[in-house]
Amino acid sequence: MTDQLRLMAVHAHPDDESSKGAATMAKYVSEGVDVLVATCTGGERGSILNPKLQGDPYIEEHIHEVRAKEMDEAREILGVKQEWLGYVDSGLPEGDPLPPLPEGCFALQDVDEAAGTLVKLIREFKPHVITTYDENGGYPHPDHIMTHKISMVAFDAAGDPEKYPEAGAAWQPLKLYYNQGFNRPRTVALHEALLARGLESPYGEWLERWKEFERAERTLTTFVPCSDFFEIRDKALIAHRTQIDPDGGWFRVPMDIQKEVWPTEEYELAKSLVDTSLPEDDLFAGIRNN
């Protein structure tokens, strides 16, 4: 059944697909699974995070085009398909008090209307599994939280022929997962492995901030073995050169340590219409051969 399996990953901005679940997607592509990334916004208001490119007038003036080209390159590296939902990046508001969100941005859209755009794509692609963000957005960026909201509405509505009849024939996805790759157990394991080898860890400050947030631990249900695709993940991430410094913290953990200490990417099963046993090692558990 593998050649019939389809996975949709719903993300807020270009680059999110390469930092969250990219090795998983590359693994499934290698197995013949059809994988589609749905990108909600163009990333127009994302800061240029690579210090080597900051202040470049062409990039600043043409950021939408630049980020679209970066997405094309990452898509080719991962071997996935990709579609834009067409919404405008909300930006990450900063300050106290926080400024209002920009008029017309993704986070200010009507949730049901924006979900209809995703429903249309679900009905066209017919995914068996969808990945998205949890209710906190993974981190509280307004576009990530909005991505969660429309994904939850669309998952349920896509299979209901009375909802969004203009969006095509009903199709019901069978499972929905939250990306949980940035989880505390993984971070602690890598941090301790680096220190045990006498190496510097980039995670010390992260772990201190984790204590400050006092966020409840998420339930990790699914551990997808995909270490053979970590290099592809990193290559796709580096393709988003305005967002990622190739000499930055993302890449400070030696690859052999990553593969040895934590060779999986993690997910939280949020909705399932099939029987499955937890923990899982496959997003399609309960679907394959059924």
pLDDT mean over 259-263: 98
Hey, what are 72's tokens? 């094309």
Question: Quick one: pLDDT at residue 275?
Answer: 96
Question: Quick one: pLDDT at residue 192?
Answer: 96
Using 50, 70 and 90 to split pLDDT, how confident is the model at 249? confident
49, 243 contact by CB (below 8 A): yes
In the chain, alpha helices (H): 16-19, 22-30, 57-61, 63-78, 111-125, 142-157, 184-196, 204-213, 230-239, 255-261
Hey, what are 235's tokens? 């290559």
Cα separation, 148 vs 14, whole angstroms = 16
Cα separation, 107 vs 91, whole angstroms = 9
Question: Quick one: pLDDT at residue 250?
Answer: 79
Check pLDDT > 60 for residue 17.
Answer: yes
28, 72 contact by CB (below 8 A): no
Check pLDDT > 70 for residue 3.
Answer: no
50, 242 contact by CB (below 8 A): yes
Lowest mean pLDDT among 13-27, 94-108, 261-275: 94-108
Check pLDDT > 70 for residue 232.
Answer: yes
Question: Quick one: pLDDT at residue 240?
Answer: 97
Cα separation, 81 vs 111, whole angstroms = 25
Cα separation, 223 vs 267, whole angstroms = 7
pLDDT, tens only, 171-225: 999 999 999 999 999 999 999 999 999 999 999 888 888 777 666 789 999 999 9
Question: Quick one: pLDDT at residue 98?
Answer: 85
Question: Quick one: pLDDT at residue 213?
Answer: 66
**How many residues appear in the chain?**
290
Radius of gyration of the chain (CA): 19
* Residue 162, SS3 per DSSP: coil
User: Taking Cα atoms as reference points, which of 146, 144, 175 lies closest to residue 158?
Assistant: 175
User: Taking Cα atoms as reference points, which of 174, 133, 126 lies closest to residue 6?
Assistant: 126
Higher pLDDT, 69 or 249: 69
In 5-158, alpha helices (H): 16-19, 22-30, 57-61, 63-78, 111-125, 142-157
pLDDT, tens only, 21-74: 999 999 999 999 999 999 999 999 988 989 999 999 999 899 999 999 999 999
pLDDT, tens only, 71-125: 999 999 999 999 999 999 999 988 888 899 999 999 999 999 999 999 999 999 9
pLDDT, tens only, 36-51: 999 999 999 988 989 9
